[in-house]
Amino acid sequence: MTVSPSSPSLETFDPRLAFPHFYNNEIITHVLGPRAIWTVSDPTSKMPIDIRHLLDGCSGCTHPGPVRGAWARDERVLITLDELTAGLPTASNCAMFVDAPSQGCVVLDIEKTCPADVRDQLLAIGALYAETSLSGKGYHLVLPLPASFNELPVAASKAVLKGPHGWWEILQANHFVTYTRNPVPTPVSTTVDQNLWEQVWRSVAEDANNAPVVTYDSIDTDKRPEHDWYEPVLRTLIARSRFFGRTLDNFEHDHSRYEWAYAQYIYNNLIQLRVSPHAISLSSGESIPMNSIIVDSEAASWLIYETLDHYLEHRAKHDETRSDMPLLLNLATRVVTTRETTE
């Protein structure tokens, strides 16, 4: 996670001088910078990491690889931008946790596949901060909350609002954005066209606000899924969820809070698997990429339930039922429902 070999000496490298466009930006430095929402993303896996753990030093840990993922979204894992700059000045990027309601802004992520005419329309909005993305062909625009943000509460509560064809998306909550700190080739206006921005946001927010909401009762959990991909996906999910990084001590020995957090961690791993090109082998001998599989709500609930059951130490309460299902399956279902409602 360092600068390239062609960069200045590591002992004298000052990211503020290397990336003035980023560090001299008002919204980045003075509004977002002082908040404990910053880390870096691993250049290989693109995974946001537990930056506090890295800077404090890894001693006696069992996590795979040199770093561990960001298991929380607060000061237990994240730090301020000044702390990040001082602690890891040669970092190849800066990753920020997005939470629109508390931060007062969102991130418009324009993909490299976005057609030029659509891209130019989006860039015409202007931005509080603009940069090129990791691909060098996409863009990140930091924008203020649209005027009607609170008028469409369901849309406003979504983690992401996706534009047509996956060409662009608006990151609003529960997401990290990895800043390259590289300015766009053609400067973007720092004056935001509020009317155009409102039109763009509402173009996706209105549909999201009126979309059917996944409810707890709509998930059928009567029997274990029988998809031919279920077993290999379960094995992969179990393997990827082996390091939660937290214990009951972190939750003052509150089992309910610990298990809820563990289920959320497994759900996050499942989301990563859903978009992964990683191939899995079916019992038929056929190999298919994970991102070709449609994991519905029922299957997601069972996958999380069985992964939880694999790792959690059994306690008597697990034998109880809630809403006519095993307690841990009920927990997994509530996690899926909550996340699918807000994301």
Torsions phi, psi for 299 (to 5 deg): -65, -40
Length of the chain: 343
Torsions phi, psi for 80 (to 5 deg): -80, 165
Distance CA 49, CA 244 (A): 13
Q: What is the mean pLDDT of residues 206-219?
A: 68
Q: What is the mean pLDDT of residues 119-123?
A: 97
Paired strand residues for 179: 94
Residue 305, class by beta-carbon neighbours within 10 Å (0-12 exposed, 13-18 middle, 19+ buried)?
A: buried
Paired strand residues for 289: 279
Q: How confident is the model at residue 51 (pLDDT cuts 50, 70, 90)?
A: very high
Given this model, what pLDDT does residue 122 score? 98
Q: How confident is the model at residue 70 (pLDDT cuts 50, 70, 90)?
A: confident
If you write DSSP's letter for every residue of 268-332 in order, what string do you get? HHHHHHHT---EEE-TTS-EEEGGG----HHHHHHHHHHHHHHHSPP-GGGGSEETTEEHHHHHH
Helix axes 297-311, 327-342, angle to 10 degrees: 130
If you write DSSP's letter for every residue of 198-267 in order, what string do you get? HHHHHHHHHHHHHSPPP-GGGS--SS----TTHHHHHHHHHHHTS-----GGGGTT-HHHHHHHHHHHHH
Given this model, what pLDDT does residue 264 score? 86
Q: How confident is the model at residue 6 (pLDDT cuts 50, 70, 90)?
A: very low
Kindly report which listed range (27-41, 54-68, 254-268, 293-307) carries the lowest average pLDDT score.
54-68
Is a pLDDT exceeding 80 seen at residue 287? yes
Is a pLDDT exceeding 90 seen at residue 222? no
pTM (whole model) above 0.85: no
Q: What is the 3-state secondary structure (H, E, C) of 89-151?
A: CCCCCEEEEEEHHHHCEEEEEECCCCCHHHHHHHHCCCCCEEEECCCCCCEEEEEECCCCHHH
Given this model, what pLDDT does residue 2 score? 47
pLDDT in tens, 305-339: 999 999 999 999 999 988 888 999 989 988 888 77
CB 337 within 8 A of CB 216: yes
Q: What is the mean pLDDT of residues 15-23?
A: 97
What is the residue whose two structure tokens read 């290397």? 18
Domain boundaries, the chain: 15-210, 217-342
User: Residues 6 or more apart from 185 whose CB is under 8 A from it?
Assistant: 132
Is a pLDDT exceeding 90 seen at residue 261? no
CB 141 within 8 A of CB 122: yes
Q: What is the mean pLDDT of residues 63-88?
A: 86
Given this model, what pLDDT does residue 90 score? 95
- The mean predicted confidence, pLDDT, of the chain is 87
